[in-house]
Structure 1
Amino acid sequence: MKKSSFARPELTWLRAFTFTVFGTSVLVASYFPLYYAQLGFTNSQIGLLYALGPMISLFANLLWSLTSDRYRTIKKILILLLIGQIIMTVVLSMSSTFSVIMISITIFYFFFYPVFPLTDTIAISTAKQYDKSFIMIRIFGSLGYATFAIVIGYVLTSIGSEWTLAVSMVITVAALIFSFFIKDRVSTVAKVDFSGIWSILKQKELLWFFGCVFCLALGLRMNDAFLTISLHDLGATQDLIGWAMLASAMTEVPIFLFLSIYGEKFKELPLLVFASLMFTVRFLLMGMTTSPYGIIGVQMMHGISFGVFYVTAIRMLTRLIPDDYRATGLALFTIMWSSASGLLSGTFGGMLFEYSGRTNFYLVAMAFSALACLGFASRYLYRKPTIQRQDIDLHS
């Protein structure tokens, strides 16, 4: 009881910090592209600016994680990263040419992307100390994303998209203030064992898994990069775009909770086939709809596509990879799911969207998802893997 009472203020500040930090991700992922469009950039240029983020995250996450380990602090690194974001947002607000913004946003991403894995790290450490569920802390990130999505939409509708960077600074300053009240933790994340990469890549099962993940991620990252542009082209206002972000963010919350409790009752491969099929249907409908309200409806499929896939993929990955190489395997998964796919989808997707149109853009995204679905289905139907069951705690 005493331990629980000590935990309450610390957990409250951490939840508030997590809630606010994910509000900044709404701006970068959803409203920054609209800001670039307002500056007159082409879809190809916007796609390139989007692709810079995953490229920078490849080494920025590792560098700042190593720095956190070296100096045995997470809180101070988070404060430094948030200050860096604020400074670079000021620089971006004073820039209007593509070349200057490309350099500035590259430096901004260097401070932006590492915040999220470090936030998860400090949340995991805190949850373990007080015997709490990590999900019940992390879920405040999803709630923050959903809340800021709708609030920012209405704010920018009222004051104009030219104030996007000013709104970003306000939210980042709020996150910085909260960061002073969270308790510091020593980074406990296992080091990536580069010597184990070859051992992992020799496993055909994992190569197949990463291939399917990469195909699925390409479609999702294409949608992430150009969802707001699609809505804008169809005449959606900023507040309506906020509702589209809210629709996707809120649907993943119940799915995460359900699968964290009951997910072990279902086999991984059928769930992955189902999720990939839902992605396929989702992108087909995205290409067919000609109404921003239709897109909001389609975004409601986010939970049964992304939510089901992500929880199940992490669960399967932890069972396929030996404990000694798990950190390495998770790093490779992140590269496939986020970094490499984001880089390719931003550059290739931008040109495709600009020269082939929105419908063909989403048909290509659908094709990638269908290919992943066939890959998971073929493994399940014809080459069922033998996976040794291990006790996996999805709450930590």
Structure 2
Amino acid sequence: MESCLGVLADPAVNAKAWYLLSFAASVAVGPFLNLYFQQLGLTHSQVGLIGALRRWVSAPSAFAWAALADRHNAHQAVLLATFVGSVAARLLILLPRSYWGLLAATLLAEFLRAPVNVLADAAAMQLCAKESDYGKFRLWGAVGWGAFSTPAGWIITRLGIRWAFYTNTIMSLPCLLFGARLHSMRPAAAAGAGAHAARRQGDAAKSGSVKHGGGVNGASGMAPADGEGEKGEQMPLLGAGTAGGGGKLEHQSAGVVNGGKQGQALAAAAVAATTAAAPVPPVRYWLRLWALIRQPEVAVFFVTAAANGYAWGTIDCFLYMYLKQLGASEALVGVAVTITCAAEVPAFQLQGRLLDRWGVTRVLDMVQAAYVLRLALYALLPYAGSVLWVLPVEVLHGITFACGWGAGTVNCKTLAPPGLAATMQGTFQSLTSAGFGLGALLGGWVGAHVGWQGMFAVASVTVLGMWLGILTARWIIRLLHHTTPAPRDCGDGAPVGGGGKGGGGNPA
């Protein structure tokens, strides 16, 4: 028993258990919510409207709750309060029978649920020795979702649709234990990572293998902010080279030590560990937020998140209706869902290597290319001769969702200055949800005019156009970067994005 408790005391194991159980609880109700509405007699248009409004409510909610947590340094309290509130609100959906009552209860549950994964992702990122390790935590969410989907369906089939909500509540109870420890473990983990970085920096200094060309967080030798001392170079959104003129993106456990002195490395690591947990004054918070959203690379990243959300919403809302139209059975649809879940696990597991090798920018480009291909293949499915060909296409979900979500989460950590980590995660997930809602809205309108096959073809061309626009924007920003001075800091010497030119941060 003691050994089991000792294992659960490990912050990494705690975070993985949170993802496993929280997603297992979610799958008990998420896929069956619309079925419950239909059994109550709601029309297809009413069900569709509820689905669209859920996404539009979750987008501003995730940002607002995350901003509140960052501003008051209350991440753990906000996480637990919204998680408990969302579980209770889902039970409230069982009470009303009118459309407006169901709509109000559902939107309340969505409003409270939206920030939960945002804050959990922000906590998991603090536990990563390098940002690209995030996928090793998030893959357990895919495991929980995929592993419990079949048992949840069996329970609901045997006991009735109302047990979707009861099962969600029961499965959520152990999540309270792990959720209560997510953010409370962060300072200790950050300190341990900082000490590990200092040891590696000291060893490198002794061996004479320390790179030169920039101090910690730039040539000035200032201590990095928000734990950035754990790595020498980050994954800039626009694919900029490393400090010192190198063109290949790298991720190192030790930062570049100015002058090769072990004392400076220890001091930098200590400051980084304390900075990660330090609250940010309210006035400084708004100045940092304004400075952050003014950065061109941040705007490009936000558009990328919305574009990916648009493609995801188009697929998630209409694919299974399209497959049923093509003659797919319920069993085939179930197999397709299983494949999408299974594809996430290796993608989350291996995305760290992809990010280390290619960087965030190229991985996000790969995601958008995969979305263009996936949507086009759906449009071509009637010409394949059998609807079974949808199964290999579903393997692309590992790239489009898992790699897209992982790279986006990692990039939030890279771009966010101190005190804005959760806000950045909330904005990313909010814009993804907003794009999802746009895909559902436009997809339904286009599908009503040209059919589902034509809708997927239009969506593929639309995503391609968005991607080309993003590539053009990056090219323009890179040109401007060579002709304009470095961006000013946030008023306290900490540049937006965790690093300036010299520190391998996120230059435009």
TM-score surpassing 0.5?
yes
Q: How many Å apart are 1:47 and its aligned residue? A: 3.0
Aligned to 2:399: 304
8 Å CA contact 1:89–1:169 kept in 2: the answer is no
- 1:1-396 to structure 2, matched below 5 A, reads 7-11=6-10, 15-27=16-28, 29-62=30-63, 64-65=65-66, 66=68, 72=74, 74=76, 78=80, 80-121=81-122, 123=124, 127=127, 135-153=135-153, 158-159=157-158, 163-180=160-177, 184=181, 185-186=183-184, 193-234=285-326, 240-289=332-381, 293-316=388-411, 328-338=423-433, 340-354=434-448, 356-378=450-472, 384=478
Tell me if structure 1 keeps the 8 A contact 2:328–2:387: yes
Mapped to 1, the partners of 2:79 and 2:362 lie a distance apart of 41
Which shows bigger deviation, 270-279 or 198-207? 198-207
DSSP-derived class of the 2:138 partner: helix
Deviation for aligned residue 1:280: 0.7
Offset of 1:251 from its aligned partner? Answer: 1.4
- Rate the CA distance shift 1:292–1:119 in 2: closer, same or farther, 3 A: farther
Could you report, residue by residue, the CA deviation over 1:88-119 in whole angstroms, capped at 9, with x for unpaired residues?
A: 33432344443222112111212322332233
What secondary structure does 1:175 align onto? Answer: helix
Give the match's secondary structure for 1:284.
Answer: helix
1:196–1:232 CA distance, 2 compared to 1 (3 A): farther
Q: Which amino acid aligns with 1:254?
A: P
**Distance between the aligned counterparts of 1:379 and 1:100, measured in 2?**
45
> Normalising by the residue count of structure 2, what TM-score does the alignment of the two structures yield?
0.62
Any conservation in 2 of the 1:215–1:368 contact (CA below 8 Å)?
no
TM-score, length-scaled by structure 1: 0.77
Q: Answer yes or no: is the 8 Å Cα contact 1:24–1:168 preserved in 2.
A: no
Structure-1 separation of matches of 2:417 and 2:91: 45
Give the letter for the 1:141 counterpart: G
Q: Which runs of 5+ in 2 are unaligned?
A: 187-276, 482-499
Give secondary structure in 2 for the equivalent of 1:289: helix
Contact residue 353 and residue 361 of structure 1 kept, 8 A: yes
Query: For the Cα contact (< 8 Å) 1:10–1:182, is it kept in 2?
Result: no
SS in 2 for 1:357: helix
Partner of 1:140, secondary structure, is helix
The structure with higher relative contact order (CA 8 Å, sep 6+) is: 1
Range 272-281 or range 178-187, more displaced: 178-187
Higher helix share: 1
Does structure 2 conserve the Cα–Cα contact (< 8 Å) formed by 1:218 and 1:344? yes
- 2:393 corresponds to which letter in structure 1? V
Greater CA drift, 172-181 or 105-114: 172-181
Contact between 1:44 and 1:351, CA under 8 Å: does it hold in 2? Answer: no
Once the two structures are superposed, what CA deviation does each residue of 1:264-320 show, in whole Å capped at 9, x if it has no partner? 221444433332121011012223335664433322111122333333344555556
CA contact (8 A) 1:60 1:114 kept: yes
Distance in 2, matches of 1:174 and 1:138, equals 18
Distance in 2 (alpha carbons) for counterparts of 1:30 and 1:115 = 19
Q: Which amino acid aligns with 2:350?
A: F
Instruction: Give 1:146 shift.
Output: 1.5
How far apart, in 1, do the equivalents of 2:314 and 2:356 lie? 31
C-alpha distance in 2 between matches for 1:315 and 1:119: 13
Q: Which amino acid aligns with 1:91?
A: L
Change (3 A) 1:71 1:207: closer
Aligned partner of 2:167: which letter?
Answer: V
Letter of the aligned partner of 1:206 in structure 2?
V
**Distance change >3 Å, CA 93–CA 239, structure 1 → 2:** farther
For the 8 Å contact 2:118–2:425, the answer to whether it is kept is no
Task: Classify 1:175/1:322 alpha carbon distance in 2 versus 1 (closer, same or farther; 3 Å).
Answer: closer
Q: 1:97 to 1:312 in 2, by over 3 A?
A: same
Letter in 1 for 2:372: T
C-alpha distance in 1, partners of 2:74/2:289?
26
Q: Superposition RMSD on alpha carbons, in Å?
A: 4.0
Q: Which runs of 5+ in 1 are unaligned?
A: none
Deviation at residue 228 of structure 1 after TM alignment: 4.1
1:172 and 1:362, CA in 2 relative to 1: closer, same or farther beyond 3 A? farther
Q: Contact 2:26–2:168 (CA<8 Å) still a contact in 1?
A: no
User: Hey, what's the Cα distance between the residues in 1 that align with 2:158 and 2:27?
Assistant: 18
Secondary structure in structure 2 of the residue aligned to 1:371: helix
Q: CA deviation at 1:359?
A: 1.7
Could you say which structure has the larger radius of gyration?
2
CA contact (8 A) 1:153 1:241 kept: no
Change (3 A) 1:95 1:5: closer
